[in-house]
Each structure stands twice: as structure tokens, then as C-alpha cells.
Amino acid sequence: MILPMKTTISERLEQQMAFLVEVEKLKAIYRQNMVTDLSRHENSAEHSWHVALMAMILADNAADPGVDPIQAMKMLILHDIVEIDAGDVSLYDVQGNIGKEEREERAAERIFGLLPPDQKKECIALWKEFDERKTPTALFAAALDNMQPVVNHYASGGYGIKNRDLKTRQIIEKKQFIAEASPELWSFTHKTIMQSEEAGFYSPD
């Protein structure tokens, strides 16, 4: 039996689908990190999926028992969507980070603006909460976002970063806030940083 179809589609659904089609472009934003089989660079959509999964699996390592893993997963799924317009800029690219905040604000307004107003408001609030790191959940989510590339560098044999002359001191300075979100995860991250230095992926001071 063929069920009758509605002849009209709601404006809300049209807006939701326009957003979902648009954000597929995140799959075409490539990062400097390699996937671990070394076949290609990781894209930002894959990174977002990976860190969201980390929030689910590693939530019991959060220093603050009030951390909400579902909220963290939402933040991490959304946090890099602005790169569709603003591009992916390395944490260590001083020149590239000039004006980054303004570019990302414009991108957030355009991309999340495709959604119905209530969902636009929710997504922008989550994106800003993540970016500001003022809540325990946002701090934990940001810690995972910063931990993942370190683990990737080591797991991929340093490919993708070998010509960037990253220094151990630089990495530690940018990543040590992870300790506030989770001492256990910082211990693991620090150990991995030192293993990467020993392997020659990062330059000692």
C-alpha cells in the first residue's frame, strides 16, 4: 500500500534541510593532520565526529562531575561548522589567526541563520559557549578538541606536521589548560607530547 504524500512541505523543514545540505561542505575542509592510515588529510567533519565520540567515551575522566557529555557532544559536532566559510587555521599560525574571531562570527551568523530561529539561537549559544570555555562542560569539550590532534600526530607517525617545526614548548603552552578539565587526560596528553618529541615529530627547546 502506498501512503498518500503531503503536497506541501513546512517552511521549518525546508530551513532545516537547507542547513543540513550546507553543512555537508565541512567534509571538504581539510586539516593539516593525516588520517592514521596516511592515505589523506583528515577533514573537519571527521575531526568533529571523532571529538564528539571522545566526549561520550571519556566523560568519566572530567574533573567536574557536573560536566554534561551530551551537551559536550553537541558543542563538538557544531564547533567547526564555521570553517565552511572561515577555513581551518592552525593553532600555531599567528598570521592566520588575525581576524579569525570576526570571520567565524560572520560564518556562524550565515550558516546557523539557515535554521529556524529557535534552532539558530540554540546552535549559536552552544557554539559561543564552547568558544568561551567558561562552563565546565565547554572547558571539557575544548580539552578534547585540543587533545585529539596531539594523539593524531603520534598515531600517524608525525606525517602532516614534519615540515612545520612545531616545538614541544609551543604544544605544552597551548594544551596545558587540559589539566583543569581533566588531570588524567592531561597526563595522557603530556605523555603523548613527550613521545612525539622523542620520535622527532616536535622539536625540543
Asked if residue 171 is part of any domain, the answer here is: yes
Q: What pLDDT does 70 receive?
A: 98
Asked if residue 7 is part of any domain, the answer here is: no
The burial of 101, by beta-carbon neighbours within 10 Å (0-12 exposed, 13-18 middle, 19 or more buried), is given as exposed
Asked if residue 95 is part of any domain, the answer here is: yes
| Domains contained in the chain, number | 1
Asked if residue 159 is part of any domain, the answer here is: yes
Asked if residue 5 is part of any domain, the answer here is: no
Residues 132 and 54: beta-carbon distance below 8 Å: no
Asked if residue 175 is part of any domain, the answer here is: yes
Domain that holds residue 117: 12-199
Could you tell me the CATH number of the domain that includes residue 27?
1.10.3210.10
Q: Which of 74, 102, 63, 64 is nearest to 86 (CA)?
A: 102
Q: Residues of the chain whose pLDDT is less than 50?
A: none
Q: What pLDDT does 46 receive?
A: 98
Q: Which of 92, 86, 84 is nearest to 44 (CA)?
A: 84
Q: What pLDDT does 197 receive?
A: 94
CB count within 10 Å of CB 61 equals 18
Asked if residue 118 is part of any domain, the answer here is: yes
* Cα–Cα distance for residue pair 62/138, rounded to 1 Å: 11
Asked if residue 2 is part of any domain, the answer here is: no
Q: What pLDDT does 166 receive?
A: 87
Question: What pTM was estimated for this model as a whole?
Answer: 0.92
Q: What pLDDT does 38 receive?
A: 93
* Cα–Cα distance for residue pair 185/189, rounded to 1 Å: 6
